Amino acid sequence: MSVTDRPVHPPNASASDPGESDAEASAALSPDETFHILQTFRRRESIRYLLREDGPVKMRDVAEHVAAREHETTVAELTSAQRQRVYIPLYQSHLPKLDTAGVIEYDKPRGIVRPTERLESFRPYLEAAAAPTNAEPDRADREASPNGQRRSVAALGAIVALLLAIAAEALQISGVVFGAAIVALVLVAVAVF
């Protein structure tokens, strides 16, 4: 959506409000809208990147930043496939959603992303999220973590191997030890350290 396509007034305001200022016309997003936008890792990283940059940026640069963060690597070490898997959803979905919400101005044909004044309202949320805590990461971030996936697959493989060894009578252990081993492996499979 280009700047000229965006409504001048919020949906609940009438066009005849003579005292409405530009600041009121670009009112802050509701908490539900804000949290919906911050719901996905790719939108959060796009916003984080735009908050660090000064002025308009190329959409390709946003996609490369997000892909590098998602794959826990650098932009220089990204593969073409990693770039493309992030570029397409950003191009088709995430950046248009940010544009529609008035967080950015996205010139899709030119591949240019311009921050708006609404972008700054996300800074406190992202800074709070970046602060070190003992809180568990959200499910989407945990699932996107290659290390978490490897750990889960390894733990589930160990459970299967343990069960097969007991079934083949190659391993003789008590029920208590067996139960403790299974519980420990399940906790490793679902935990994110």
Of 93, 68, 192, 88, whose CA–CA distance to 140 is shortest? Answer: 192
Confidence of residue 71 (pLDDT cuts 50, 70, 90): very high
Of 117, 111, 104, 106, whose CA–CA distance to 28 is shortest? Answer: 117
Of 126, 144, 139, whose CA–CA distance to 89 is shortest? Answer: 144
pLDDT in tens, 27-53: 678 888 988 999 999 999 999 999 999
pLDDT in tens, 102-114: 999 999 999 999 9
Buried b (16+ CB within 10 A) or exposed e, 97-115: bbbebbbbbbeeeebebeb
pLDDT in tens, 85-139: 999 999 999 999 999 999 999 999 999 999 999 999 888 888 887 766 544 445 5
Looking at per-residue confidence, does 77 or 170 come out higher? 77
Number of C-beta neighbours around residue 166 at 10 A: 14
Decide: 115 and 124 in contact? Cβ < 8 Å: no
Give the model's pLDDT for residue 13: 40
pLDDT higher than 60, residue 19: no
Instruction: State the pTM of this model.
Output: 0.56
pLDDT higher than 90, residue 182: no
Give me the helices (H) in the chain, please: 22-25, 31-37, 41-52, 59-70, 80-89, 95-100, 123-130, 139-144, 146-167, 175-190
Per-chain mean pLDDT for the chain: 77
